[in-house]
Amino acid sequence: MALDVQDLLSKMLGAALPILKTGVANADSYAKMEFTKIAQSIVSIGEQLAENTINSEQAKLLLDMQKNASRAVLLTLEGLGLLVAEAAINAALAVVKTAVNTALGIELI
């Protein structure tokens, strides 16, 4: 099963935006930008795994790096606390977890 950035993004935004809106009124544009980056990273990781240019440990580290970068951006929004940012990222990844892990053949998320 091939992973699609737009499909992943749509699902992640659907899960995360309601959480983010409780913390920040203008979170939509920031969330879309950051979840696009996460979705692109997941697709890239899948391609690299398929090409055997990275292993599952490296794949997990790459996703963690992007999650941390996105967390940093979301935390800069006024009034957005660590718990809201973490809950939004976790909700976004939870809705694509099964599809991503199945498509990649490893437990990335």
The pLDDT value given to residue 81: 74
Alpha-carbon distance of 24 to 42, in angstroms, equals 26
Q: What are the domain boundaries of the chain?
A: 5-104
The pLDDT value given to residue 24: 66
Q: Which residues contact 108 (CB under 8 A, 6 or more apart)?
A: 42, 45, 56, 59, 60, 63, 100, 101
pLDDT tens per residue, range 29-85: 888 899 999 999 999 999 999 999 999 999 999 999 999 999 888 887 766 677 788
More confident residue, 54 or 24: 54
pLDDT at 102 over 80: yes
Q: Which CATH number fits domain 5-104: 1.20.120, 2.60.40, 1.10.1740, 1.20.58?
A: 1.20.58
pTM exceeding the 0.75 threshold for the entire prediction? no
